[in-house]
Structure formats: C-alpha cells, structure tokens
Amino acid sequence: MIRVGRSICIPDSEIHLRFLRASGPGGQNVNKVATAVQLRFNVRRSEALPGDVCQRLVLLAGKRLTAQGVLVIEARRFRSQERNREDAIDRFVSLVRRAVLKPKVRKATRPTRAQKARRLEAKRRTSEVKEGRRRAPHDEG
C-alpha cells in the first residue's frame, strides 16, 4: 500500500513493476542483470483515485500515458534494482501528489485607478528618457 496523501492510498495490486535490462553504467553487470524498473499504473481503471484526480493525472502524465490509459514510468538512473525501484515509486508518488492539488480558480479583476495612474506615469517617464536620447536639431545660423 502506497500512501500518497491523507485520504489517498494506492494498493500494491494496482501498481505493476517489471524489471528489464538497463543501458548505461554498470560494466558487464548491465548485460547480465535486469536493473531497470518499469512501473505501470492504469489510471482509468484505478479505484483508489477520485475522478477529478484521475483527470488531472492524465493531463500531467503527458507522453508517459499510453492510449489505454496506463501510466508508464521507467527508472534506470542507478546501478541497483532496488534503488531504481524506489526511484520509480518516488516519481510516481510525486506525480500523483501534483494531481491531487486542485488548481486555483482565477478571478477576473480590473486594475485600480492608482495602478492605472502608476502605469501611465511610468510610460510618460520612459517617453521622456527616450526623447532626451534624440539628437538635438542642428542650428543653422
């Protein structure tokens, strides 16, 4: 059981881990031992996540989500299987935690009279500075 928040716990039965051979550092060990980890989690069929969290998770997952709605996270950063497993689970948990947070609803507001005055004053000052950079007209006399 993986605890994501106070109210959300994901059972181990919904997370599938697969071990495969990794490329990268490890010498000959790379060719013999399956150290890379592939974590698979079916977002659309999950009973542990509420509907709104599932929708946000689908948006956050991006390319890591298959057409069938399965989230795939691959971890191959480390040379040991155990550390890659922990890395995959940590990345999964942080992704779900981001999905749990509800985005703030933006309220449309209008600028105050003082804000408008400050903006216009700043524009006037900028205009004066640029006006001062112009060359003075040549006096013919």
Q: What is the pLDDT of residue 115?
A: 96
Q: Which of 32, 33, 52, 30 is nearest to 43 (CA)?
A: 52
pLDDT band of residue 124 (cuts 50, 70, 90) is very high
Question: What are φ and ψ of residue 26, in 5° steps?
Answer: 140, -5
Q: What is the pLDDT of residue 29?
A: 66
2-100 belongs to CATH 3.50.30.30: no
Tokens at 10, concatenated: 């994901």
Cα–Cα distances (Å) from 64 to 18, 57, 61, 124, 133, in that order, read 16, 11, 5, 50, 54
Nearest-angstrom CA–CA distance, 35 and 63:
23
Strand partners for 20 = 36
Q: Each residue of 43-101: pLDDT tens digit?
A: 888 888 888 888 888 888 888 888 888 889 888 888 788 898 899 999 988 988 888 88
Q: What is the pLDDT of residue 30?
A: 65
Q: Give the contacts of 99 (CB within 8 A, at least 6 positions apart).
A: 49, 53, 54, 56, 57, 60
62: left (phi over 0), alpha (psi -120 to 50) or beta: left
Q: What is the pLDDT of residue 112?
A: 95
Percent of the chain with pLDDT over 70: 91
